[in-house]
Structure 1
Amino acid sequence: MSTKSQVLTLLMQQTPDYISGEDMGQQLSLSRTAIWKAINELKKEGHTISSSRNKGYRYEKSDVLSAEGIRLALNSATPELSITVLDASESTMKDAKLAAINSEPDNTLIVADLQEAPKGRFGRPFFSKAGGGIYMSMLLRPNQNFEEMAQYTLIMAVAVARAMDKFANVQTEIKWVNDIYINGKKVCGILSEAMSDVESGQISNVIIGMGINFSVQETDFPKELREKATSLFSTSKPTITRNELIGDIWNQFYAILKQLPNQEFLEEYRKRSFVLGKTVQFSQAGQDYEGIATAINDRGELVVELQNNVEKVLSSGEISLSKIESSK
């Protein structure tokens, strides 16, 4: 761990109290000069650190993304994460794929303050704003069968929804299969991709990426998105930091993983569904359909009842819902 990282971690742990330079030096085995240099570097990165001649230094809570801040938000039951925080990324999904190619370890998390070319399912672009969003991707090495792949997206959706409800006092819903909604507007999109081992037929790598609108005012969205998108804190100042939300999302995610093969998360996913009981339109193999979404089965597939009681079972990779409305 670098000197700057050690100093930042200690300051964050000490907040809201002051800690003297002498105490910091003793705890970290660093000189006062090394601490002073590290604090100046942190200030240049945007961190707010108060100083008092008699008391020492104090970290003022801010929303600067940092690996140190994320780690402090992780609980003891969550595995150790390898965390990289970037000022900007073309795509954290691409970064995570490169990490997989370079044999980076399991549980490698890449977070960016700004995503320059964000893509969702089917390659659709989505809105990204520096300082207002969370753009991150996780590299996992599960060595599981492809049939289990769909679970990751469902688990991730439940984890994000739980963390948002907990910290922001909201009631999130899930639009099958991968979007989080608040009050009928999208606040988060999730994307999962798998890489396979040809010889074993198993998934060698899973990459889960997401874009979260954290603190974006309605007027900041492009006009064509204002009726469709929102942010977690769209009309008020955030009551938490992005680091805290990121940490709890992964706390929730790994807690569910540890409970498998228990399927309680799937029942929660169904209860949060934005589409069950509603009329939906979708396209499949070049043909348009309309029906009522009646169920989400144990594989995470959406069951849609068409006319004449014909059922269609939709997997996450086959369709894009184009219309959702309440059934009469």
Structure 2
Amino acid sequence: MSTKSAVLTLLMQHPADFLSGEEMAQQLSVSRTAIWKAINELKKEGHSISSSPNKGYHYKKNDVLSVEGIQLALNQQTPKLHISLLNSSDSTIKNAKLAAINGEPENTLIVADMQEAPKGRFGRAFFSKAGCGIYMSMLLRPNQNFEEMAQYTVIMAVAVSKAMDRLTNVTTEIKWVNDIYLNGKKVCGILSEAMSDVESGQISNVIIGMGINFSIKQEEFPEEIHQTATSLFSNQEPTISRNELIAEIWNQFYAILSELPKEQFLEDYRSKSFVLGKEVTFSQAGKNYQGIAKTINQQGELIVTLADGTEKILSSGEISLSTIAGKKNPRL
């Protein structure tokens, strides 16, 4: 750990206290000059650190992304995450794929302050803004069959939704497959991709990526999505930091994984779905259908009953919902 990282961790661990340069130098076995340099580097990165000649240094809570801030908010039960923080990325999913190819360890998390070319399902672009969103992808190595892939996407949606609800005291909903909605507008999109081992026929790597609108003001969204997208803090100052939300998402995710094969997460997923019981229109194999969304099965597939009583099973990637309860569903 660098001196700068160690100093930041110390300050974050004592949010109500002032720490003197001498005290930190003794704890870290470095010089007072090294502490001073680290403090100045942190200030240049945007961290709010006040100083007093008689008291020392004090860290003021802010929303600067940091590896240290994420790590400190992780539960002890959450596995060690190998976190890489980027100022900007074309795509954190691409970064995670490269990490997989380069043999980076499991639980490698790529987090970017800004994503330059974000893409959602079916290659659709979505709006991003530096300092106001969370753009991240996780590299997992499950060694499972492709049939089990849907389990990860369902778990991730539940984890994100529960983390948002817990930290911000809101009630989010899930639009099948993996869009998170708040007050009828999209606040998060999730993508999962698998990399396979040809010889074993198993999934060697799973990459889960997401873009979260954290503190984008409602009036800042482009006109074409102004009525269909929102952020967690669209009309108020954030009550939590992005670091805290990132950590809580993965706390929730790994907590669910640790409970498998229990199926509570499927019940949570169904209870948060705003599609079930409603009329939906979709296309499958080039043909349009209309019916009632009845349930979500154990594989995370949507079961739709058509007017003639037949059922259609919809899997991720092969359909796009176009209508929910008679209203056109935005393609975000």
Interval of TM-score (by shorter of Structure 1 and Structure 2): over 0.9
Report the Cα distance in structure 2 between the residues aligned to 1:69 and 1:320, rounded to whole angstroms. 37
Report the Cα distance in structure 2 between the residues aligned to 1:181 and 1:265, rounded to whole angstroms. 18
Report the Cα distance in structure 2 between the residues aligned to 1:238 and 1:48, rounded to whole angstroms. 16
> Alpha-carbon deviation of 1:326?
6.2
Matching residue's letter, 1:170: V
Query: Superposition pairs for residues 14-25 of structure 1, below 5 Å?
Result: 14-25=14-25
Report the Cα distance in structure 1 between the residues aligned to 2:18 and 2:73, rounded to whole angstroms. 20
Report the Cα distance in structure 1 between the residues aligned to 2:318 and 2:169, rounded to whole angstroms. 34
Matching residue's letter, 1:277: G
Report the Cα distance in structure 2 between the residues aligned to 1:75 and 1:127, rounded to whole angstroms. 31
Matching residue's letter, 1:200: S
Report the Cα distance in structure 2 between the residues aligned to 1:202 and 1:138, rounded to whole angstroms. 19
Aligned to 1:129, the other structure's residue is in SS state coil
Report the Cα distance in structure 2 between the residues aligned to 1:45 and 1:320, rounded to whole angstroms. 42
Matching residue's letter, 1:205: N
Task: Report what 2:321 is aligned to.
Answer: 321
1:101-152 superposed Cα distances (whole Å, 9 cap, x missing partner) = 0000000000011000000111111110111100000000111111110011
Aligned to 1:114, the other structure's residue is in SS state coil
1:82-113 superposed Cα distances (whole Å, 9 cap, x missing partner) = 00111110000000000000000000000011
Task: Report what 2:231 is aligned to.
Answer: 231
Matching residue's letter, 2:187: V
1:110 aligns with 2:110: yes
> Alpha-carbon deviation of 1:3?
1.1
Query: Superposition pairs for residues 1-328 of structure 1, below 5 Å?
Result: 1-325=1-325
Size of the alignment, in residue pairs?
327
Aligned to 1:308, the other structure's residue is in SS state coil
Aligned to 1:309, the other structure's residue is in SS state coil
Structure 1 residue runs of 5 or longer lacking an equivalent are: none
Matching residue's letter, 1:235: N
1:211-244 superposed Cα distances (whole Å, 9 cap, x missing partner) = 0000011110001101110100111110000000
TM-score by length of 1: 0.99
Once the two structures are overlaid, the 10-residue window that deviates more, 238-247 or 10-19, is: 10-19
Report the Cα distance in structure 2 between the residues aligned to 1:16 and 1:286, rounded to whole angstroms. 60
Contact 1:290 1:306 in 2 (8 A): yes
Aligned to 1:186, the other structure's residue is in SS state strand
Q: Percent identity?
A: 74
Aligned to 1:54, the other structure's residue is in SS state coil
Report the Cα distance in structure 1 between the residues aligned to 2:266 and 2:246, rounded to whole angstroms. 22
Structure 2 residue runs of 5 or longer lacking an equivalent are: 328-332
TM-score by length of 2: 0.97
1:171-203 superposed Cα distances (whole Å, 9 cap, x missing partner) = 000000100001110000000000000111110
1:283-325 superposed Cα distances (whole Å, 9 cap, x missing partner) = 1111111111011011110000112101100011211111111
Q: Cα RMSD (Å) of the superposition?
A: 0.9
Report the Cα distance in structure 2 between the residues aligned to 1:307 and 1:298, rounded to whole angstroms. 24
Aligned to 2:205, the other structure's residue is in SS state strand
Report the Cα distance in structure 1 between the residues aligned to 2:315 and 2:250, rounded to whole angstroms. 25
Report the Cα distance in structure 1 between the residues aligned to 2:180 and 2:29, rounded to whole angstroms. 46
After TM superposition, the runs of 4+ consecutive aligned structure 1 residues lying more than 6 A away are: none
Contact 1:278 1:324 in 2 (8 A): yes
Aligned to 2:325, the other structure's residue is in SS state strand
Contact 1:303 1:311 in 2 (8 A): yes
Report the Cα distance in structure 2 between the residues aligned to 1:268 and 1:128, rounded to whole angstroms. 29
Contact 1:9 1:69 in 2 (8 A): yes
Report the Cα distance in structure 1 between the residues aligned to 2:124 and 2:228, rounded to whole angstroms. 15
Contact 1:114 1:135 in 2 (8 A): yes
Aligned to 2:46, the other structure's residue is in SS state coil
1:236-275 superposed Cα distances (whole Å, 9 cap, x missing partner) = 1100000000000000000000000001000010000010
